[in-house]
Amino acid sequence: MTKGFASTNDLAAKTISFTELAPGRAYAYTAQGDPNTGIVIGDDGVMVIDTQATPQMAADVIARVRQVTDKPIKYVVLTHYHAVRVLGASAYRAEQIIASAPTLELIRERGQQDMDSEIGRFPRLFRGVDTVPGLTWPTLVFDRSLTVMMGSLEVRIMLAGRGHTRGDTIVWLPNEKVLFSGDLVEYGATPYCGDAHFTDWPATLDSLAALGAGSLVPGRGDALTTSALAAEAIGQTRAFVTDLFAAVSAGAAAGRGLREIYADTMTALRPRYGSWVIFDHCMPFNVSRAFDEAGGIDHPRIWTAERDLEMWRLLDQGR
């Protein structure tokens, strides 16, 4: 009998950290490998980068913000469309919800399916899911880049390039050298690649590395407060997606089936990456998407709750 998703066994509460990255300007809300939220404080308001998965969970972010400022929350930025990143947006009552044009397209195409799928995969990350009013829709959409002046604070919001999704957005504070990468970069946490573009991802990471960040907030993992740690996180993420796609591509070229490739890839990657957070949860989705891309499917197939279960049964995760 096939067991449930690996993530359904991840029930332990995580310790929250709220780390200052630039004095009075930038903070990171992190939780031991759970999805991170970024905070930027300008002269006249606050920007939140990724919202947590539900309004109930977002309330704790707001409480942390209120410990350091009483300025209004004016902006919410969605680094991409995944439900775990966007469904808490309503709690902030922001003036603008900002996203890239490809992210808006993906919400239109697959937002509801993604919402239903993710809630089923990882229940602990959707505490208070009954407080979600529905899909989160951006109110301000940009094509390539958008600069927001928060008083004297310059905030650059940029479509970084395809990687974790095709709509990946970063937030960059050029004067403070603080980078919020979304799930393009992880630290000590397994990148989720179920909607990825493996061929493009390394070059996208190169463009992030070229910024020379002094601090970096990854999608998951600790806030990184030195340039050396920021570079290490980018390098680790590049190595993971490169190794994974190479292993799957080799298996596909040899004519192996998905289940066999999955077993081989787990064997190849576990020694180096198996200790990373959510490794067992992510890998079936990651190998499935890599197998599709190696077979010429450029546009990731939509994950539905039904497809999740079909894939999990095929690969017999947790056997």
Per-residue pLDDT of the chain (319 residues; tens, 9 = 90+): 345 555 555 557 789 999 999 999 999 999 999 999 999 999 999 999 999 999 999 999 999 999 999 999 999 999 999 999 999 999 999 999 999 999 999 999 999 999 999 998 888 899 999 999 999 999 999 999 999 999 999 999 999 999 999 999 999 999 999 999 999 999 999 999 999 999 999 999 999 999 999 999 999 999 999 999 999 999 999 999 999 999 999 999 999 999 999 999 999 999 999 999 999 999 999 999 999 999 999 999 999 999 999 999 898 654 4
- Which tokens go with 219? 């999608």
- In whole angstroms, what is the distance from residue 135 CA to residue 13 CA? 26
Establish if 107 belongs to a structural domain: yes
Establish if 228 belongs to a structural domain: yes
- In whole angstroms, what is the distance from residue 136 CA to residue 310 CA? 27
Establish if 263 belongs to a structural domain: no
- The packing angle between helices 305-315 and 258-273, to 10°, is 80
Establish if 18 belongs to a structural domain: yes
**Overall domain count for the chain:** 1
Which strands sit side by side in the sheet containing 26-31, from one edge to the other? 17-22, 26-31, 34-41, 46-49, 73-77, 96-100, 140-142
Establish if 287 belongs to a structural domain: no
Q: What is the DSSP letter of 189?
A: B
Amino acid at 274: G
Instruction: Give SS3 for 49.
Output: strand
What pLDDT does 265 receive? 98
Domain encompassing residue 95? 6-240
What pLDDT does 316 receive? 65
Establish if 69 belongs to a structural domain: yes
Residue position matching structure tokens 């937002």: 111
What pLDDT does 2 receive? 43
- In whole angstroms, what is the distance from residue 76 CA to residue 96 CA? 6
**What's CA 98's distance to the chain center, in Å?**
16
What pLDDT does 122 receive? 82
Establish if 276 belongs to a structural domain: no
pTM of the model: 0.95
Residue position matching structure tokens 């905030």: 155
Task: Please return the burial class of 153, using the count of CB atoms within 10 Å of its CB with bins 0-12, 13-18 and 19+.
Answer: buried
Amino acid at 94: A
CB 256 within 8 A of CB 161: no
CB 79 within 8 A of CB 210: no
Establish if 305 belongs to a structural domain: no
- Which tokens go with 253? 């070229």
Q: What sign has the CA pseudo-torsion 100, 106, 108, 114?
A: negative
CATH code (residue 223): 3.60.15.10
| Residues near 202 by beta carbon (within 8 Å), at least 6 away in sequence | 238, 241, 242
Q: How far is CA 95 from CA 76, 140, 278, in A?
A: 8, 10, 34
